[in-house]
Protein backbone atom coordinates (compact mmCIF):
# COMPACT_ATOMS: atom_id res chain seq x y z
CA UNK A 1 0.00 0.00 0.00
CA UNK A 2 1.14 3.51 -0.74
CA UNK A 3 0.51 6.72 1.19
CA UNK A 4 0.97 10.38 0.25
CA UNK A 5 4.58 11.58 0.59
CA UNK A 6 5.50 13.67 3.67
CA UNK A 7 4.45 17.30 3.58
CA UNK A 8 6.91 19.64 5.24
CA UNK A 9 4.86 22.04 7.33
CA UNK A 10 6.00 25.59 7.94
CA UNK A 11 8.02 26.20 11.09
CA UNK A 12 6.28 29.58 11.35
CA UNK A 13 2.99 27.96 12.41
CA UNK A 14 2.16 28.53 16.08
CA UNK A 15 1.73 25.43 18.21
CA UNK A 16 -2.06 25.31 17.96
CA UNK A 17 -1.97 25.69 14.18
CA UNK A 18 0.78 23.11 13.90
CA UNK A 19 -1.17 20.57 15.98
CA UNK A 20 -4.15 21.09 13.66
CA UNK A 21 -2.00 20.72 10.55
CA UNK A 22 -0.29 17.60 11.85
CA UNK A 23 -3.56 15.87 12.77
CA UNK A 24 -5.12 16.88 9.45
CA UNK A 25 -2.15 15.62 7.44
CA UNK A 26 -2.09 12.24 9.13
CA UNK A 27 -5.85 11.98 8.61
CA UNK A 28 -5.34 12.44 4.86
CA UNK A 29 -2.72 9.71 4.87
CA UNK A 30 -5.13 7.27 6.52
CA UNK A 31 -8.02 8.11 4.21
CA UNK A 32 -5.72 7.65 1.20
CA UNK A 33 -5.03 4.09 2.30
CA UNK A 34 -8.74 3.33 2.49
CA UNK A 35 -9.27 4.95 -0.92
CA UNK A 36 -6.57 2.70 -2.31
CA UNK A 37 -8.46 -0.34 -1.02
CA UNK A 38 -11.69 0.89 -2.60
CA UNK A 39 -9.96 1.63 -5.91
CA UNK A 40 -8.61 -1.92 -5.97
CA UNK A 41 -12.06 -3.45 -5.61
CA UNK A 42 -12.70 -3.18 -1.87
CA UNK A 43 -11.14 -6.40 -0.58
CA UNK A 44 -8.47 -6.13 2.09
CA UNK A 45 -6.65 -8.00 4.82
CA UNK A 46 -7.53 -6.31 8.11
CA UNK A 47 -4.14 -6.87 9.74
CA UNK A 48 -2.31 -5.61 6.67
CA UNK A 49 -4.46 -2.47 6.57
CA UNK A 50 -4.03 -1.86 10.32
CA UNK A 51 -0.27 -2.18 10.06
CA UNK A 52 -0.15 0.03 6.98
CA UNK A 53 -2.21 2.71 8.72
CA UNK A 54 -0.05 2.75 11.84
CA UNK A 55 3.17 2.86 9.82
CA UNK A 56 2.11 5.43 7.22
CA UNK A 57 0.62 7.89 9.71
CA UNK A 58 3.65 7.55 11.99
CA UNK A 59 6.07 8.13 9.09
CA UNK A 60 4.18 11.21 7.96
CA UNK A 61 3.95 12.73 11.45
CA UNK A 62 7.60 12.04 12.25
CA UNK A 63 8.77 13.71 9.05
CA UNK A 64 6.46 16.71 9.45
CA UNK A 65 7.44 17.25 13.11
CA UNK A 66 11.15 16.91 12.34
CA UNK A 67 10.72 19.62 9.72
CA UNK A 68 8.60 22.06 11.73
CA UNK A 69 9.98 21.53 15.27
CA UNK A 70 13.36 19.79 14.96
CA UNK A 71 14.38 20.63 18.53
CA UNK A 72 11.29 19.20 20.23
CA UNK A 73 11.09 15.67 21.67
CA UNK A 74 8.40 13.19 20.65
CA UNK A 75 6.56 10.40 22.46
CA UNK A 76 4.61 8.24 20.00
CA UNK A 77 2.81 4.93 20.19
CA UNK A 78 4.45 3.86 16.95
CA UNK A 79 8.07 4.87 17.64
CA UNK A 80 10.75 3.64 20.00
CA UNK A 81 10.64 5.66 23.19
CA UNK A 82 13.68 7.81 23.95
CA UNK A 83 13.87 8.32 27.72
CA UNK A 84 15.78 11.57 27.22
CA UNK A 85 12.41 13.19 26.45
CA UNK A 86 11.75 13.32 30.22
CA UNK A 87 14.42 16.01 30.41
CA UNK A 88 13.03 18.01 27.48
CA UNK A 89 11.01 21.21 27.90
CA UNK A 90 8.72 20.49 24.94
CA UNK A 91 7.39 17.04 24.02
CA UNK A 92 4.87 16.18 21.32
CA UNK A 93 2.72 13.23 22.46
CA UNK A 94 1.08 11.56 19.47
CA UNK A 95 -0.99 8.56 18.51
CA UNK A 96 -0.88 8.30 14.72
CA UNK A 97 -3.91 6.00 14.63
CA UNK A 98 -6.20 5.58 17.64
CA UNK A 99 -8.84 2.94 17.02
CA UNK A 100 -6.79 0.78 14.68
CA UNK A 101 -9.43 -1.96 14.72
CA UNK A 102 -12.16 0.45 13.59
CA UNK A 103 -9.90 1.95 10.89
CA UNK A 104 -9.70 -1.46 9.19
CA UNK A 105 -13.33 -2.46 9.58
CA UNK A 106 -16.58 -2.05 7.67
CA UNK A 107 -20.04 -2.22 9.25
CA UNK A 108 -21.20 -5.84 9.10
CA UNK A 109 -24.96 -5.25 9.11
CA UNK A 110 -27.69 -2.66 9.50
CA UNK A 111 -28.29 0.40 7.34
CA UNK A 112 -24.52 1.08 7.10
CA UNK A 113 -23.61 -2.48 6.08
CA UNK A 114 -20.52 -2.48 3.88
CA UNK A 115 -19.49 1.08 4.73
CA UNK A 116 -16.25 1.91 6.50
CA UNK A 117 -16.48 2.60 10.25
CA UNK A 118 -15.89 6.23 11.19
CA UNK A 119 -14.81 5.89 14.85
CA UNK A 120 -11.04 6.20 14.70
CA UNK A 121 -8.81 9.20 15.32
CA UNK A 122 -5.39 10.88 15.12
CA UNK A 123 -4.01 12.44 18.33
CA UNK A 124 -1.45 15.27 18.46
CA UNK A 125 -0.64 17.07 21.74
CA UNK A 126 2.14 19.31 23.00
CA UNK A 127 3.38 19.03 26.59
CA UNK A 128 5.51 21.85 27.99
CA UNK A 129 7.50 21.80 31.24
CA UNK A 130 5.77 23.75 33.96
CA UNK A 131 2.55 24.12 31.96
CA UNK A 132 1.46 20.58 31.05
CA UNK A 133 -0.63 20.03 27.93
CA UNK A 134 -0.71 23.37 26.10
CA UNK A 135 -1.89 22.54 22.57
CA UNK A 136 -3.73 19.64 21.04
CA UNK A 137 -5.74 18.41 18.09
CA UNK A 138 -7.85 15.32 17.52
CA UNK A 139 -8.70 14.48 13.93
CA UNK A 140 -11.68 12.27 13.13
CA UNK A 141 -10.68 11.51 9.53
CA UNK A 142 -13.81 9.66 8.40
CA UNK A 143 -16.02 12.45 9.77
CA UNK A 144 -13.91 15.24 8.21
CA UNK A 145 -13.50 16.84 11.66
CA UNK A 146 -10.52 18.24 13.55
CA UNK A 147 -11.17 19.43 17.11
CA UNK A 148 -8.44 21.58 18.67
CA UNK A 149 -7.54 23.53 21.77
CA UNK A 150 -7.89 26.72 19.73
CA UNK A 151 -11.54 26.19 18.75
CA UNK A 152 -13.09 27.72 21.83
CA UNK A 153 -16.19 25.61 21.28
CA UNK A 154 -18.10 24.82 24.48
CA UNK A 155 -20.81 22.13 24.21
CA UNK A 156 -24.42 22.92 25.01
CA UNK A 157 -25.17 22.34 28.67
CA UNK A 158 -27.79 19.62 28.96
CA UNK A 159 -26.62 18.39 32.32
CA UNK A 160 -29.69 19.71 34.17
CA UNK A 161 -31.84 17.07 32.49
CA UNK A 162 -29.59 14.32 33.86
CA UNK A 163 -29.49 15.78 37.36
CA UNK A 164 -33.28 16.17 37.34
CA UNK A 165 -33.72 12.53 36.32
CA UNK A 166 -35.39 13.48 33.03
CA UNK A 167 -33.01 11.35 30.98
CA UNK A 168 -30.27 8.78 31.70
CA UNK A 169 -26.60 9.61 32.06
CA UNK A 170 -24.97 8.60 28.75
CA UNK A 171 -21.50 7.10 29.09
CA UNK A 172 -19.21 6.35 26.13
CA UNK A 173 -18.04 2.75 26.42
CA UNK A 174 -15.85 0.24 24.68
CA UNK A 175 -17.66 -1.72 21.96
CA UNK A 176 -16.23 -5.06 23.08
CA UNK A 177 -14.78 -4.84 26.58
CA UNK A 178 -16.20 -2.13 28.87
CA UNK A 179 -14.62 -2.20 32.35
CA UNK A 180 -16.57 -4.25 34.89
CA UNK A 181 -17.51 -1.15 36.87
CA UNK A 182 -18.93 0.47 33.72
CA UNK A 183 -20.95 -2.67 32.97
CA UNK A 184 -22.23 -2.53 36.55
CA UNK A 185 -23.29 1.08 36.08
CA UNK A 186 -25.19 0.09 32.95
CA UNK A 187 -27.46 -2.12 35.06
CA UNK A 188 -28.96 1.04 36.57
CA UNK A 189 -32.05 2.55 34.95
CA UNK A 190 -30.49 6.02 35.06
CA UNK A 191 -27.34 5.09 33.08
CA UNK A 192 -27.05 4.31 29.36
CA UNK A 193 -23.91 2.99 27.69
CA UNK A 194 -23.12 4.28 24.18
CA UNK A 195 -20.69 1.85 22.50
CA UNK A 196 -18.01 3.25 20.20
CA UNK A 197 -14.37 2.63 19.31
CA UNK A 198 -11.25 4.72 19.96
CA UNK A 199 -10.47 6.57 23.18
CA UNK A 200 -10.20 9.80 21.20
CA UNK A 201 -13.64 9.36 19.66
CA UNK A 202 -15.13 8.67 23.09
CA UNK A 203 -13.63 11.82 24.62
CA UNK A 204 -14.63 13.96 21.64
CA UNK A 205 -18.16 12.57 22.04
CA UNK A 206 -18.14 14.16 25.50
CA UNK A 207 -16.63 17.34 24.08
CA UNK A 208 -19.46 17.75 21.56
CA UNK A 209 -22.14 16.58 24.07
CA UNK A 210 -23.03 13.42 22.13
CA UNK A 211 -22.54 11.65 25.47
CA UNK A 212 -22.19 12.97 29.01
CA UNK A 213 -19.08 11.17 30.24
CA UNK A 214 -16.23 8.79 29.58
CA UNK A 215 -14.77 6.73 32.42
CA UNK A 216 -12.03 4.23 31.74
CA UNK A 217 -10.27 1.60 33.80
CA UNK A 218 -7.79 -1.09 32.83
CA UNK A 219 -5.08 1.17 31.57
CA UNK A 220 -4.08 3.35 28.66
CA UNK A 221 -0.89 5.08 27.59
CA UNK A 222 -0.26 8.81 27.57
CA UNK A 223 -0.71 8.99 23.79
CA UNK A 224 -4.23 7.54 24.16
CA UNK A 225 -5.46 10.53 26.15
CA UNK A 226 -3.04 13.50 25.87
CA UNK A 227 -4.57 15.22 22.83
CA UNK A 228 -8.21 14.40 23.70
CA UNK A 229 -7.66 15.64 27.26
CA UNK A 230 -6.09 18.87 25.99
CA UNK A 231 -9.09 19.48 23.72
CA UNK A 232 -11.63 18.46 26.38
CA UNK A 233 -10.08 20.80 28.97
CA UNK A 234 -10.18 23.66 26.49
CA UNK A 235 -13.95 23.13 26.44
CA UNK A 236 -14.21 23.29 30.22
CA UNK A 237 -14.56 19.55 30.91
CA UNK A 238 -13.21 17.83 34.02
CA UNK A 239 -10.37 15.46 33.09
CA UNK A 240 -8.77 13.50 35.96
CA UNK A 241 -7.89 10.02 37.14
CA UNK A 242 -10.88 8.01 38.40
CA UNK A 243 -10.01 8.87 41.99
CA UNK A 244 -9.95 12.57 41.18
CA UNK A 245 -6.17 12.98 41.16
CA UNK A 246 -4.42 14.91 38.42
CA UNK A 247 -3.37 13.38 35.10
CA UNK A 248 0.38 13.68 34.57
CA UNK A 249 2.19 13.46 31.25
CA UNK A 250 5.74 12.98 29.96
CA UNK A 251 6.61 10.57 32.73
CA UNK A 252 9.31 7.94 32.34
CA UNK A 253 6.61 5.25 32.27
CA UNK A 254 3.84 6.56 30.01
CA UNK A 255 1.22 4.15 31.45
CA UNK A 256 -1.96 5.81 32.78
CA UNK A 257 -4.25 3.41 34.66
CA UNK A 258 -7.59 5.19 34.30
CA UNK A 259 -9.47 8.28 33.19
CA UNK A 260 -12.55 10.37 34.12
CA UNK A 261 -14.03 12.94 31.70
CA UNK A 262 -17.31 14.83 32.08
CA UNK A 263 -18.80 18.35 32.45
CA UNK A 264 -18.13 19.96 35.86
CA UNK A 265 -21.79 20.00 36.84
CA UNK A 266 -22.05 16.23 36.41
CA UNK A 267 -18.79 15.31 38.13
CA UNK A 268 -20.16 15.01 41.70
CA UNK A 269 -23.11 12.88 40.51
CA UNK A 270 -20.88 10.62 38.42
CA UNK A 271 -18.48 10.15 41.31
CA UNK A 272 -21.43 9.17 43.54
CA UNK A 273 -22.43 6.55 40.96
CA UNK A 274 -18.86 5.25 40.73
CA UNK A 275 -18.76 4.92 44.51
CA UNK A 276 -21.79 2.59 44.30
CA UNK A 277 -19.80 0.18 42.10
CA UNK A 278 -16.64 0.27 44.18
CA UNK A 279 -14.67 3.07 42.49
CA UNK A 280 -13.75 5.36 45.33
CA UNK A 281 -12.90 9.01 44.87
CA UNK A 282 -10.33 11.01 46.80
CA UNK A 283 -11.10 14.39 45.28
CA UNK A 284 -9.47 17.03 47.41
CA UNK A 285 -11.30 19.72 49.31
CA UNK A 286 -9.88 22.30 46.94
CA UNK A 287 -11.35 20.61 43.87
CA UNK A 288 -13.24 22.94 41.56
CA UNK A 289 -15.48 20.18 40.25
CA UNK A 290 -19.07 21.25 40.14
CA UNK A 291 -18.15 24.91 40.46
- Could you tell me which residues are annotated as the binding site? 77, 95, 97-98, 224
Q: Give the separation between CA 66 and CA 247, rounded to whole angstroms.
A: 27
Identify which of 33, 34, 2 has the alpha carbon closest to the alpha carbon of residue 116: 34
- Which strands sit side by side in the sheet containing 169-173, from one edge to the other? 191-195, 169-173, 213-216, 259-262, 238-240
Annotated binding site for Mg(2+): 77, 95, 97-98, 224
* Of residues 124, 134, 104, 143, the one with CA closest to residue 26: 124
Helix (H) or strand (E) holding 271: helix 267-276
Angle at 237 between CA 89 and CA 78, to 5 degrees: 45
Q: What is the rounded end-to-end Cα distance, in angstroms, of the chain?
A: 51
Distance between CA atoms of 30 and 252, rounded to whole angstroms? 30
CA dist., res. 34 & res. 64, Å (int)? 21
Amino acid sequence: MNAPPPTFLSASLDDDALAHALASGAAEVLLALRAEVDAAGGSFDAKELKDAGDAAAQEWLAAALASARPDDAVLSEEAKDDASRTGADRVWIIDPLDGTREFAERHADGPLAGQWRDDFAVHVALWERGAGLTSGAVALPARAQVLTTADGVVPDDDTAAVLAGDRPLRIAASRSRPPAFVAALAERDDVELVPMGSAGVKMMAVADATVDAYVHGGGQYEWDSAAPVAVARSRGLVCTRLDGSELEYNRENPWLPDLFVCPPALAPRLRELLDTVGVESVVGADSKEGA
